[in-house]
Amino acid sequence: MVDLSVSLAGVMLKNPIIPASGTFGYGREFAEIYDLDILGSFSWKGTTRDPRSGNPQPRIAETASGMLNAVGLQNPGMEAVLREELPNIARIFHGPVIANVCGFSLEEYAENCRLLEDAEQVKILEINISCPNVHAGGKNFGSDPRSAAAVTRAVRAAAKKPVFMKLSPNVSDIAEIARACEAEGADGLCLINTLLGMRIDLDARRPLLANRTGGLSGPAVFPVALRMVWDVYEAVKLPIIGCGGVDSAESAAEMLLAGASAVEVGAANLRDPWACKTIIENLPAVCRRLGVSRISDLIGGAHYG
């Protein structure tokens, strides 16, 4: 019997697999096809205070080993999520929920955290300072250490729940951003969000996405995400949720060995809606192959020996 449980800032997960924000909605579509209680947790769709309709079409483009999206944080707004989605989540999932929290100002981030205070099932706030699709040129609070620190300070003051800052890979030194978040009292980090990219429609000679640029995800980004998790693990003491291109139990184990305490699975859910289920089912065999009886023994393992 392999122990798959892991801990994120004191929150126990039955296994390290978490569907990533933006690929799992609020769980409804997946609850129709498998029992969500097999999941360690799930990170709901990035939610802003006010409803957002997102970017114009087209919002999706394919790439080699991955995809670009420029959805632009379409969501029904925090109050509608608390009123309509949270009670439904309680019916379809009984584990700890990660709330992905977005904002366009420090006040909005703080207010969203306060609104989530009474949501008992929400155990971790994942503060999205890294969506590349809502500001011209992909700039956001996660683009520089000072603004990342400012958001961390604001949410730390507003929230009692653990706050995990979701970091952008579109920076020159992600470890510096991670240290800035740690210094302001973040309880953990989640990395990486998508990489800023684009495609051009050859016949139209125009950008394929209406937003011009989009966020790259899928197996194409896995080595980049893994390297950043490695660097951040060396730079800070905080627990890390590794995210980016994971599509198998093996790649999830690589993330743990690089230093992640848990793993988010994103684009893989869109290609194969049963991806997380398959990964979880295959984790014990990978642990046996690696000779560990507790999966948590893998965390950071590649840094030693």
Partner 1 sequence: MKKSIFTLEQSRRLARDVWELRLAGDTSAVTAPGQFVNLQLPGKFLRRPISVCDWDERGLILLIKEAGEGTRELVRLGAGTELDVLTGLGNGFDLTKAPEGAVLAGGGVGIAPLYGLARRMLEAGERPLAVLGFRSREEAFYLEEFAALGLEVRAATEDGSLGTKGFVTDVLKGLPGGLYVMACGPAPMLKAVSALPQTAGGQFSFEARMACGFGACVGCTVETKRGLRRVCRDGPVFQKEEILW
Active-site residues, by number, are 131
Rounded Cα–Cα distance for residues 286 and 283 (Å): 5
The residue among 54 and 301 lying less far from partner 1, judged by its C-beta, is 54
Per-residue mark of binding to partner 1, 145-184 (x: CB under 8 A): ----------------------------------------
163-166 and 122-128: which strand pairing?
A: parallel
Q: Which of these ranges, 18-26, 87-95, 99-107, 131-139, lies near partner 1 under the rule CB under 8 A?
A: 18-26
Is the separation of the CB atoms in 165 and 127 below 8 Å? yes
Q: Which one of 2, 3, 31, 65 is in contact with partner 1 (CB under 8 A)?
A: 65
The residue among 59 and 156 lying less far from partner 1, judged by its C-beta, is 59
Q: Which one of 14, 54, 284, 302 is in contact with partner 1 (CB under 8 A)?
A: 54
Q: Which of these ranges, 162-170, 228-236, 270-278, 281-289, lies near partner 1 under the rule CB under 8 A?
A: 270-278
Strand ranges in the chain using DSSP code E only, listed in sequence order: 6-8, 11-13, 17-19, 42-43, 60-63, 66-69, 97-101, 122-128, 163-166, 188-191, 195-197, 200-201, 206-207, 214-217, 240-243, 262-265
For residue 29, state whether it binds partner 1 (rule: CB under 8 A): yes
Q: Which of these ranges, 132-140, 151-159, 257-265, 267-275, lies near partner 1 under the rule CB under 8 A?
A: 267-275
For residue 207, state whether it binds partner 1 (rule: CB under 8 A): no
The residue among 197 and 259 lying less far from partner 1, judged by its C-beta, is 197
The residue among 69 and 143 lying less far from partner 1, judged by its C-beta, is 69
Residue of 101, 183, 108, 109 lying closest to 145 (CA atoms): 183
> To 10 degrees, what angle do helices 174-183 and 222-235 make?
40
Taking residue 204's Cβ as centre, other Cβ atoms within 10 Å add up to 8
Is the separation of the CB atoms in 169 and 142 below 8 Å? no
Element (H, E) at 279: helix 275-290
| Residues engaged in binding partner 1 (CB under 8 A) | 22-25, 28-30, 32-33, 45, 53-54, 57-67, 69, 71, 74, 218-219, 267, 269-274
